[in-house]
Structure 1
Amino acid sequence: MTTHTVDPVLCMALFVSDAPGSRELDDATIRETVDRTLERLGPDECYARAAEVFGDRPETALDRIQWARELCTRAMAVPAA
């Protein structure tokens, strides 16, 4: 089984976005949210905001980053040929 690794900046963008922490988000919505957040903030600001959340609210940050990684991995997966 091949594991797909998604670019961490995409996960950070979803993490700091205003998307609700729902697993019900469809892949198109996830990709749009990530694109919109990166356009608005850029990669450096996404990382800075994520660091702030981890510093201020580490108890909630862990769940949110795991959520973001799971959804980004699913949404950004390259379909099998």
Structure 2
Amino acid sequence: MTTRPVDPVLCMALFVSDTPCFSNPNDAEVRATVDDTLDRLGPQECYARAAEVFGDRPDVALNRIQWARSVCERALTAAGAR
């Protein structure tokens, strides 16, 4: 069984959220955070903020985007969401 990759904008929304990457949010928390962040900022602002972090702190950004992607893949594909 293959799964589709998570839409990158959903990962960006978690990336720019206030959720600390050392936390272990459950699937419902991830979905709520992604939805709230996209509602507040929209996709373009999520990408803009992520780009700013990558420009200013690439060392931090790499770890955070890897965390966000992993958490989103778990939370958003497990539930069949999105």
Q: What TM-score does the superposition give when structure 1 sets the normalisation length? A: 0.91
Which of 16-25 and 46-55 deviates more?
Answer: 16-25
Match of 1:20 in 2: 20
Q: Which runs of 5+ in 1 are unaligned?
A: none
| Matched ranges for 1:1-81 at <5 A | 1-78=1-78
* C-alpha distance in structure 2 between counterparts of 1:6 and 1:23, whole Å: 20
Deviations 1:1-48 (A, max 9, x none): 524300000000000000011352100000000000000000000000
Question: Post-superposition, which runs of at least 4 consecutive aligned residues in structure 1 deviate over 2 A?
Answer: none
Count of aligned residue pairs for this structure pair: 80
In 2, are the aligned partners of 1:4 and 1:73 still within 8 Å (CA)?
no
- What CA RMSD, in Å, does the superposition of the two structures yield over aligned residues? 1.5
Change (3 A) 1:3 1:30: same
In 1, are the aligned partners of 2:3 and 2:77 still within 8 Å (CA)?
no
Q: What TM-score does the superposition give when structure 2 sets the normalisation length? A: 0.90
Give me the identity figure in percent: 68
Which of 7-16 and 23-32 deviates more?
Answer: 23-32
